[in-house]
Structure 1
């Protein structure tokens, strides 16, 4: 293949990637605040983003993100060592050698062979039971595995930054809030609610030894996914602290209706695929739920009384994994039996987002050929 042909190929790939990245996508109502601590070097409170369905694509993205993270880390923590003369975005481009396994799934036309990947992945998903069909539970569990791997990887990477004495633990003295918090006016999102304070750290310290191991640190960064009762209660306290406009230490009905109930209603709407009603029509259901939560009947909600709905206020990764599974099935379930065959998945490849990710892979490959 001549250099001119390669340049043409790259131009076409770039054009296709542009159209894919700007094409309309099916929007999902992620109206919840996905409260998890962001990287020390990049705070972007955007909607929850799903992890790539294919572990191969996820690994490519993870390596690229690692390089971007390392560059930001050097620029912020060791500016004297940072390479300021490098070409823009050069460090964010992964080396092709990292992805030689991915080349095995490119066909003769340099297109990603989705069929081969699905044939390989299908039996890994179809396990409970292994009956030739993928149901919602199996797909949710698969998505959870990918999400947990991604979350833990990011937590391990973040822990390396804060574990200054390299003992495998993070103390409160070692943990530095992200730069966007350090440079804030103490009134920004997260800071005034205690996300960077010792109470949050201590709640994450399940064994109470004053140090966070990787499991505790992962919970610290992603409290909505934790099973630590101290951390879940802390999350409830933060809700009271945020919603308590009159600062009496509890949540009255007005504070509940115009804040917490909206989030509960959003969650239930998405789970049951229903639509919003007017505030007037929701007053009675809101009062009914408020009364159910108000166990002592004092007309206020305490942090403990918020425990039954905290999972709806802060949805976990499992919630999003199920959403993603439902969406995949809705797109590929041709015979509408609520499950997927291999044929259905091959004939209805999941989402254009995967294809845009694959085009990035192809572009990297073409760039590597051009350098030769």
Structure 2
């Protein structure tokens, strides 16, 4: 019976992916006025969709994430930063219960998204449980989904790379694309050994020469890391692409020409446009030692605007949903508002910023050499 259910759900997974990538869902969000294009692929709003995508990914990989071949087996639970990857339930918990969310329409399986939203609403509406979903509740839900996806990807890499099965990765296991001899190189060119070694050492908080699951998560997902050494490393990389005179820091002209628009574009998700400081004001605010230059350390307060990661985008996605679905503009969602816009919750990409002003914005350019952590993982 279990095998039959798993087979059914694998077919259903294909349906879910089709749904989230369908032309209808791709169109959602494109009608907004005056906002800059963002085009970020966020974690699925529905955890069932996320689970189905993981099943498909593991099926395509031919079982490369098989839990039985790793010391973190199906009986274990791994936690970090108050987030949990429960391996005992990821692919088996409530499998039979999941079947009820799919309906057969003329011989084709379809996810019953109305039933899914009715199921999820009380799970999101928790603080307070008042029959409405606030922005805060929606942000918490979306961040949980983003962390879930980050954790899964990190665990997958740990299983794939951990050749000796000790639950941690050595430098050689991480940088398998280089020979042992090449690992002695200190070439700091991006993508070369020295560049990767610096990031490995930043992530290796305890300095034991190995990355545990938490450290590997920081290594693979630097934009979402709370490790300040990694954050500074990211900002140095950002400066390197903006630093016209190659002095390792930003003067006002470099900040104005290369960094400010990136900051402003993402800050508009968090603040009303009138509350965002002008370039001169922001530069002066960041220039803590008043030397008229900005170092990587001084850019830390705007890290998440310059380098938004999965978690930052999860909060942006929550604001996007409120803006699109909140019909009476009271700042919260009812179940009826969600059901009246149910397809938007299954869109894979939100592509435009909601407009906080009547002015049209200029084209958005991002000087980001690693604009997507998936690219970072592909290099890895």
Q: Select the residue among 28, 35, 44 that pairs with 1:52.
A: 44
5 Å-filtered alignment, 1:315-326, equals: 315-326=308-319
Change (3 A) 1:331 1:174: same
Give me the whole-angstrom Cα distance separating, in 2, the residues matched to 1:329 and 1:204.
36
Cα contact 1:177–1:196 (8 A) shared by 2? no
- State the shift of 1:173 in Å: 2.0
| 1:157-196 equivalences in 2 (<5 Å) | 157-176=156-175, 190-191=190-191, 196=195
Alignment of 1:82-101 (within 5 A): 101=97
The yes-or-no answer on 1:299 pairing with 2:292 is yes
State which of 85, 102, 106 in structure 1 corresponds to 2:102.
Answer: 106
Kept in 1, the 8 Å contact 2:45–2:346? The answer is no
Cα separation, partners in 2 of 1:167 and 1:330, compared to 1, 3 Å: same
Alignment match, 1:231 = 230
1:139-288 aligned within 5 A:
139-176=138-175, 190-191=190-191, 196-272=195-271, 274=273, 285-288=278-281
Residue by residue over 1:165-210, the C-alpha shift from the partner in whole angstroms, topping out at 9 and shown as x without a partner, is: 221111212212779xx9xxxx9x9527x89521111111122222
**Secondary structure of 1:48's partner?**
strand
> SS in structure 2 opposite 1:237?
helix
1:337 aligns with 2:333: no
In the alignment, is the contact (CA less than 8 A) between 2:26 and 2:347 conserved in 1? no
What is residue 369 of structure 2 aligned with on the other side?
Answer: none
Query: For the pair shown, which has the larger CA radius of gyration, 1 or 2?
Result: 1
Partners of 2:103 and 2:239 lie apart in 1 by 56
Secondary structure at 2:311 match in 1: helix
Indicate the residue corresponding to 1:90 in structure 2.
none
User: Any stretches of 5+ residues in structure 2 without a counterpart?
Assistant: 1-14, 66-93, 350-380
Contact 2:199 2:219 in 1 (8 A): yes
Partners of 1:213 and 1:206 in 2: CA distance: 10
Checking the alignment, whether the CA contact within 8 Å between 1:30 and 1:48 is kept in structure 2 is no
SS at match of 2:133: coil
Q: Which runs of 5+ in 1 are unaligned?
A: 1-12, 33-46, 74-97, 276-281, 357-372
- 1:299, 1:345 → 2: CA distance? 49
Report which of the two has the higher share of strand: 2
Q: Which has the higher helix share?
A: 1
> 2:27 matched to 1:24?
yes
Say if 1:156 and 1:214, in contact at 8 Å, map to a contact too: yes
Distance 1:195 1:350, change over 3 A: farther
Contact 2:287 2:298 in 1 (8 A): yes
Alpha-carbon distance between aligned partners in 1 of 2:164 and 2:132, rounded to the nearest angstrom? 50
Helix, strand or coil at the partner of 2:268: helix
